[in-house]
Amino acid sequence: MNQNNKITFLINSLCGGGAEHVCVTIANGFSERGWNVKLLTLNLDGEVYRKRLSPKVVLETLNYRHARTSALRLLYWLRRESPDRILVFNHELAVLLVFLRWILRADFRIVARNRSMLSQKRKMLGLWHGLIVDGLARLLYCYVDTIVAQSKGMAADLIEHYGIHPSQITCIYNPVSPGILRQTEIPAPFRRHELLYVGRLAALKGLDDLLDIFAEVAKIDNEAMLRLVGQGPEQLKLEQKASMLGLAGRVIFEGFQPNVTAYYQRAKAVVLTSYYEGFPNVLAEAISVGTPVVAFDCPSGPSEIIQDGINGCLIRDRDKKAMAAALLDILSCPERFQREQVRATAKKFSRDNILPQYLAILENQQV
């Protein structure tokens, strides 16, 4: 192993989110390519992705719940370890690293993978994250060496709202986990026409709208079923609304599932109704196994994944009638999208295609 190829990954936790999934996927890929990889987390609460982490990756934790309370411990860790490069998966942690680097008068490189549309996210957060953290980001985020935006829309958001110079930003899509691509056997379909949502049950995902849309679909297609894979703070509210709409038994809450490949393969379509995204991993994963996707053209990400009419349907943002019509069309005409044709559109999201782009940044090469 080349000891010059050392890198630290920094993330809040290894819980069941998209950033955590991508972090583990990239960390494993780096270790397979001979890098000395250390993964540092604030905590290991809900560590669902720990089992997927390569044994070659050294895992450490600071045992703190929040970035704002971990500053002193992280400072001591940086002084002790003297890292060369840190790839950080949270803008709050990236801003904290900028501040601690200044205190230590250190020269380690900070590469921040931006995880969301920050200008949109701040509108749905409380005082700390929506005002204080966002204010610090507007002040200090520009001192990160390189910011990885997961979509072109996200890059534009950083330039317009956070004063980031375009030369600091590199657009790299999220990689699809090889574990999803390895499972090629198509399981038997569920009994009914299956629609699928995968992700957190959170307000920003627009799941109230999704239930309204499915209610319209269910009026026409008696066999239609909606399955939601994920967990989150909106679950009870959504369960109550599904019951109120008369959809009990047709909307199934599956909770978090460590392996979603079979769900993708069985579904007739994967649907996304978010108010905003950074890069919606679920869409890339679904088309990687050949399942078409239907999503609102929200900022940002869906328009960079969906090739309308080829691997799914891109719907004008918040047009619920148009989305219901598109879903009914797919359910009534499943041969409209051919599995291999859909799968072919996902090649650019493979880990083998994405990792060299990260390596180029960390080795100071041009992408």
| Residue limits of CATH 3.40.50.2000 in the chain | 6-175+350-362, 179-349
Give the mean pLDDT of 123-148: 82
Angle at 178 between CA 286 and CA 181, to 5 degrees: 45
Sheet containing strand 169-171, edge to edge, reads: 58-61, 36-41, 6-11, 85-88, 109-113, 146-149, 169-171
Q: What is the pLDDT of residues 153-163, one digit of tens each?
A: 999 999 998 99
Of the candidates 262, 179, 191, 266, the residue with the CA atom closest to the CA atom of residue 224: 191
Give pTM, 2 decimals: 0.90
CB 60 within 8 A of CB 81: no
Task: Provide the H-helix boundaries in the chain.
Answer: 18-32, 71-81, 91-104, 118-121, 127, 134-140, 152-162, 178-182, 207-220, 235-244, 261-266, 281-288, 302-305, 320-332, 339-344, 351-362
Cβ proximity of 13 and 45 under 8 Å = yes
Q: Which two tokens stand for residue 123?
A: 């509108």
Question: What token pair was written down for 175?
Answer: 């990689």
Distance of CA 48 to the CA centre of its chain: 15
**Which CATH homologous superfamily contains domain 179-349?**
Glycogen Phosphorylase B; (3.40.50.2000)
C-alpha 332/C-alpha 281 separation (Å) is 26
Q: Is the model more confident about 38 or about 190? A: 38
Task: Give the 3-state secondary structure of residue 316.
Answer: coil
Is the pLDDT at 184 greater than 60, yes or no? no
Q: What is the pLDDT of residue 46?
A: 84
How confident is residue 365, by pLDDT bands cut at 50, 70 and 90? very low
Pair of tokens at residue 151? 């979509």
Position 122 scores a pLDDT of 67
Please tell me the predicted confidence (pLDDT) of residue 129: 64
Is residue 128 scored above 70 in pLDDT?
Answer: no
Provide the pLDDT confidence category of residue 43 given band limits of 50, 70 and 90.
Answer: very high
Q: Which two tokens stand for residue 196?
A: 């699928």
Question: Minimal CA–CA distance to 269: which of 220, 207, 217, 219?
Answer: 217
- Please give the Cα distance from 116 to 276 (Å, whole number): 8
DSSP 212-252: HHHHHHHHH-TTEEEEEEB--TTHHHHHHHHHHTT-BTTEE
Judged against a pLDDT cut of 80, whether residue 181 lies above it is answered with no
CATH class assigned to 6-175+350-362: alpha beta
Peptide bond connecting 151 to the previous residue in cis, omega within 30 degrees of 0:
no
Predicted pLDDT at 258? 79
pLDDT above 50: residue 260 = yes
Average pLDDT (68-88) is 96
- Cα–Cα distance between 19 and 49 in angstroms, integer? 11
